[in-house]
Amino acid sequence: MTRNDRLNPYAYLLLLWGGLALIPAALYLGGLSLFPWIELDSIKAQLLYGLTSLGTAPYGILTVLALLLICYLLLPRKQLVPLLLSVSLAMGIGLVLNHFLKPYFGHPRPNVQLLADTQGLSLSDFYQASASARRTLMAQEMTKLTEQTELSLSPQIAQHWQHEVGFSFPSGHTLFAVTLALVVSYFLLSAQQFLFTSLLCLWALAMGFSRMLLGMHWPQDVLAATLLGGAIALFSLLSIERWRAIRQD
């Protein structure tokens, strides 16, 4: 039996999925929160903002295209079509689910909860307002927050807070990163591209950290997105594999 015969990409994929879920699960079960652990006007925060931007439109599209280009250079040509189909299906499912799940659960973001705790912001009034009204209210509350507390926001992160005024659960950025990373990792593992697979999964893990540290998500948001992203990735891969098998028959 050769090494290729022994390699089971799905087994490796399940291990990667579990590894990605381990840290947010530990944070959630331990009742820990990563916000506000860092100064939000620091270089570290700026780097985290740059990372989180890779999952924000329109840069998320560029992220997908960049990964597909790398895969074009690393993978056998016969894997490119199923890769493209699997990524497209997984991204579509993730976008639809994220769109419906956030308002269904209606959980406030950590930064909004902070405004409620420190400045008496009404969560019900905030989330019942239109998106444009929420952005205006967020700008006003951020000004008061920086004037009345020691918390300081860089211009980019302040703009991000003002733009991202939706609900918290689950983390859409983490869902995007985990789903994409696991789908692409399946094909990379099939081609024994272990180094880039590891880097890709570290990126997905770091995406979840960036969302928590910047005050945009709770550990349970990242954990749920990681679990959901893995399920979407497996479903998409198996669906495309089954569709290709039917076509060949």
For residue 248, what are the contacts with CB-CB under 8 A and spacing of at least 6? none
Q: What are the C-alpha distances in Å from 99 to residues 72, 167, 229, 231?
A: 30, 10, 14, 17
Q: Give the up-direction half-sphere exposure of residue 145: CA atoms within 13 A in the CB hemisphere.
A: 23
User: Is the dihedral angle over the CA atoms 145, 147, 152, 155 positive or is it negative?
Assistant: positive
Candidate list 107, 160, 163, 217, residue with the active-site label? 217
DSSP three-state, residue 77: helix
- 148 Cα distance to chain centroid: 32
Q: What are the C-alpha distances in Å from 246 to residues 29, 78, 165, 240?
A: 43, 17, 44, 10
Torsion of CA 41, 172, 61, 244, to 10 degrees: 150
Please indicate whether residue 160 is annotated as part of the active site.
Answer: no
As annotated, the active-site residues are: 173, 217
